[in-house]
Structure 1
């Protein structure tokens, strides 16, 4: 487990076991110390998989608002993504700070994103697939987010934006 500059946000690195048959990686084990330290006693309410075909596509920055906040564990199963988490916890001294890491199967890493963070990513390889574990159920009326190009955040996305949903383009800036 690697701490990030933002309290509560962790990068988890799993060691892949490789033999003549292929490979095995433990993606999540609730009782194992590395997962328990960040996931705690949260339940897994949903597991989602997304595939994004076009390089440069951005998905996010999304979160579910209180009282339906949720933690996420995000892992890239195929391809590579530049994954971003933004601290939007009202009581946080780090409000508005963001942290990004590259997720890929080669790195064997995942990002634990606690409640109150917005999350998004940019695709670096075609056909990238992301697996999400969520601690809360999806509540459509609690969906919110922040614009990918918010000047307060000034996130330096690594590639020009090639595609984005109309919903993500219409998210609000932090200052509005």
Structure 2
């Protein structure tokens, strides 16, 4: 696997290393030792799948409060998404900053999302499915969210969402613990 560190500390884009022959290719999408070598400990407690029939469906920005924070390994298994994460770790130099990356079924690219990050995505194609391994079980009392279009975060989405749940529309704006530097 090829790990590419992102500008947000602890978050990685992960590409599979394909072994190609006349049958197609074979690649590992998980290896405990390779992840540990990059400081990633993700003992999955839960695996989720999201099926989205319509292009422009937005899900997010979701997170869980400690001690139920979730680290996630996200991959688009059909279609395409624009995946976005926001660093909510107050001690982090990238606190309040966001990152967006396109994940497609064809690329097999994954995004590793550390705990205490908000996460969401926008579907870029009809009939898009997303699968992710999660380090913590869902805890309804710890579930929180940020507004996907919070002007303070300034997330740039590649297209206007056409479908957002009422629950996701009601998430509050991000209120930082201290003034933030502009997001790059």
TM-score of the pair, normalised by structure 1: 0.92
| Residue 137 (structure 2) aligns with | 137
Q: CA RMSD in A?
A: 1.6
Alpha-carbon displacement from aligned partner over 1:44-103 (angstroms, at most 9, x marks no partner): 100111111111111000001112111000011111100001001121121110001100
| Residue 182 (structure 2) aligns with | none
| Residue 31 (structure 2) aligns with | 29
Structure 1 residue 106, shift from structure 2 partner: 2.1
| Residue 9 (structure 2) aligns with | 7
| Residue 47 (structure 1) aligns with | 47
- How many residue pairs match? The answer is 174
* Structure 1: gaps spanning 5 or more residues: none
Describe the shift of the 1:5–1:74 C-alpha distance in structure 2 as closer, same or farther (beyond 3 A): same
* Structure 2: gaps spanning 5 or more residues: 177-184
Contact 2:42 / 2:134 at 8 angstroms: preserved in 1? no
SS of the equivalent of 1:36 reads helix
Cα separation, 1, equivalents of 2:18 and 2:50: 22
Cα separation, 1, equivalents of 2:38 and 2:174: 27
Cα separation, 2, equivalents of 1:136 and 1:36: 18
Contact 1:30 / 1:39 at 8 angstroms: preserved in 2? no
